[in-house]
Copies of this chain bind each other. A is one copy, B any other.
Amino acid sequence: MKDQQIEINLATTRKEKPDFNNLQFGRTFTDHMFIMDYTEGKGWHDPRIVPYQPITLDPAATIFHYGQTVFEGLKAYLTKDEKVFLFRPTKNFERLNRSSARLCMPELDEELALNALKELIRVDRDWIPNLEGTSLYIRPFIISTEVHLGVSAALTYQFIIILSPVGAYYKEGINPVKIAVETEFVRAVQGGTGNAKTAGNYAGALKAQEVSSKSGYSQVLWLDGKEKKYVEEVGSMNVFFKINGEIITPELNGSILEGVTRDSIIQLLQHWGLPIVERKISMEEVYQAGLDGKLEEAFGTGTAAVISPIGEFFWKNEKLIINNGETGPLAKKLYDALTGIQNGTLPDSLGWVEEV
């Protein structure tokens, strides 16, 4: 598979570019997409770059009924000197394969997938926005395409990559977000699919988001599915707390998504010699630390938002204000360090960027 030639079929007309000053997240897509098919027995075949176009599937394709699908999210950045950087892209393809394994889907050759991505970015290079905070969001995903109403792993799939120029994920930008701690709904439980990046996790999460946004909380903090006691993660971010000088993030337990940003933050903190611990942490402990004046900062981490300071938690009808609702120095420092490496304005001392 590694040596398969990617066929390139360029679009004859190009779409008009959106205003890069006013990009909405995930609404505009570039001129091309990458597609590759999988057939049981034959493996992955026919890698190709084609004009961005609709997917046509039988209404009985298993994706519509049994949700066999996995996805990834990463970004390409345009540096001041016009280089295109990817941030730890191999981590995303590794995670895609782990997600696929959980969902009984065929794994990809990570090298081929990365090459395909680079080729696609080269083709649509002029879609990478060049303004502060903007980037090219990359969405690789695999869907099951077999025509079969029956609950079993499909025998055919498509791997697709689409690209979208994006601005900041949250309207608030690097400003703090308010988050409601979810005490009724559950996102994931050990033994389930929480650590896979798969559609069902997100579909199931909508209700809690809908309920909490009615009270003005744009995101929810998920607790563990067994006891609703331990902190897991936010909608599409992992979460960190700084308590009494120490930085704590929930340990990976099978129900939390293993964020690439999470891992990068941990490494950065270690690199800086700051105390970072991965362990179970209960909401009670966070709240108590807040009452005691020891909760110095809290923030979410993820590809879309990079670092999102948390200014307030709403839990059991109580508001917990963190750092006066302002962005803390650690969140700011991490944001600057990460985005600096991603944009090429800071040296890549940990070897994380890869040029396209």
Contact = CB atoms under 8 A, between A and B. Distances in A.
Interface of A: 25-27, 29, 33, 52-61, 63-69, 71, 102-104, 137, 139, 141, 143, 147-153, 160, 162, 164, 184-193, 198-207, 209-210, 225-226, 228, 235-236
A137 B149 contact: yes
A203 B149 contact: no
Contact of A67 (B67, B102, B209): B67
Contacts of A56: 54-56
A253 B318 CA distance: 29
A54 B198 CA distance: 24
Q: Which of A68, A151, A228 has the most CB of B within 10 A?
A: A151
Given A64-B69, A192-B186, A203 B103 contact: yes
Contacts of A58: 54-55
A328 to B, nearest CB: 26
Contacts of A104: 206-207, 210
A350 B217 CA distance: 48
Copies of this chain, whole number: 2
Nearest to A190: B186
Contacts of A162: 59-60
Contacts of A26: 60, 148-150
A52 B57 CA distance: 12
A65 B198 CA distance: 7
A62 to B, nearest CB: 9
A136 to B, nearest CB: 12
Contacts of A68: 203, 206
B191 A185 contact: yes
A139 B150 CA distance: 11
A281 B59 CA distance: 39
Contacts of A52: 59
Contacts of A191: 184-186, 225, 228
Nearest to A154: B206
A59 B67 contact: no
Given A26-B149, A52-B59, A192-B186, A103 B206 contact: yes
B147 A200 contact: no
Contact of A25 (B102, B147, B149, B202): B149
Contacts of A66: 199, 202-203, 206
Nearest to A104: B206
A272 B65 CA distance: 36
Q: Which of A26, A102, A204, A236 has the most CB of B within 10 A?
A: A204
Contacts of A25: 149-150
A181 to B, nearest CB: 13
A334 to B, nearest CB: 23
26 contacts: A26-B149, A27-B148, A53-B59, A54-B57, A54-B58, A55-B61, A55-B64, A56-B56, A60-B162, A63-B199, A64-B71, A64-B141, A64-B199, A66-B206, A68-B206, A103-B204, A152-B209, A185-B191, A185-B192, A186-B189, A186-B190, A193-B200, A198-B203, A199-B200, A200-B200, A200-B204
